[in-house]
Structure 1
Amino acid sequence: MFACKLQAIWILIILLAVSVKSSTANLVIADKTTKNFTNVTAAIAPDSGGGYPTHLVSMVVRGFLTLLTLLRLHWVDWTQQSKWHEDIDFDSDWVLANFTSPSWAAGYYYETHTYFGDENLTNILWWDGWVNGIYCNNLYFYLKHIIDYKLSYHWKIIWGQDCSYPLK
């Protein structure tokens, strides 16, 4: 009986959150960047044999994902512009994914689309001292005061071990 009431309350919260006008609701992310668009038909990098070492990007996406409509990992080149992306499937309330960067990539960022708005997170760029590290990303989506859909985003680089979530 209690579980049914709790489920009904969550359904009401979801319906209320979706029915609130987008002008009064917003997605709040601490770090914002200019929106970059991906051109996947363009030549990404010359065949010069140069590039960057490949990097492992690990992520956990968790929390209240019902209002999330798209989540994408963008690979950026040396100009810090998106040149390719990976769509992240978030069918459950806890998603764990790992990607290896292309050799031309100088870093990455996340793009989020929700019923409340779209945002890009700050670029994370490779540096010489970070080679062979694993880039661990913790994306936690939650509702605050019913009208604010928030993202708590933390990342760190580790060596010689696997990512452990939530990040501390």
Structure 2
Amino acid sequence: MIELTVNGQKRQIDADGDTPLLWVLRDDLGMTGTKYGCGIAQCGACSVMIDGTVTRSCVTPVESVASAQITTIEAVEADPVGARVVEAWVKHQVPQCGYCQSGQVMAATSLLKQKAKPSDADVEAAMTNLCRCGTYNAIKAAVRDVAGLAATQEHGA
């Protein structure tokens, strides 16, 4: 048995230690907001926060996060920064298909918790999740909005 703290709740999981956190969240805990995308930590659909840092859960062994605070999209709005990110996502109509958006929201929340006023370079460096619908300009506008920064010309897309 492995004890995890997910969204502030202690959970006992009966899983092999090398099982990816993604599958424990989805299959054992029923938290399907975290998505499977590529399985090799490239796309970011599986992003969660581990002790506040955005992490790809598809390649994170569950035993490696047994003593960590895991936050998933299901609880991101319980955090004031996460709530503001979700509000900005709605305001800027970021999602199209929506598949990658839970990972995008987690990445943006992590960034803004670490750096309240990120530069454009900070946003570009942190927001590396893939979006097949190409909502990158809206994502950047939403992040800048939460940070209280002036809108960029790309927002019109």
* TM bracket (short chain): under 0.3
TM-score by length of 2: 0.23
CA radius of gyration, larger in: 1
Query: Structure 1-normalised TM-score?
Result: 0.22
Which structure ranks higher in relative contact order (CA pairs < 8 Å, sequence separation ≥ 6)? 1
Higher strand share: 1
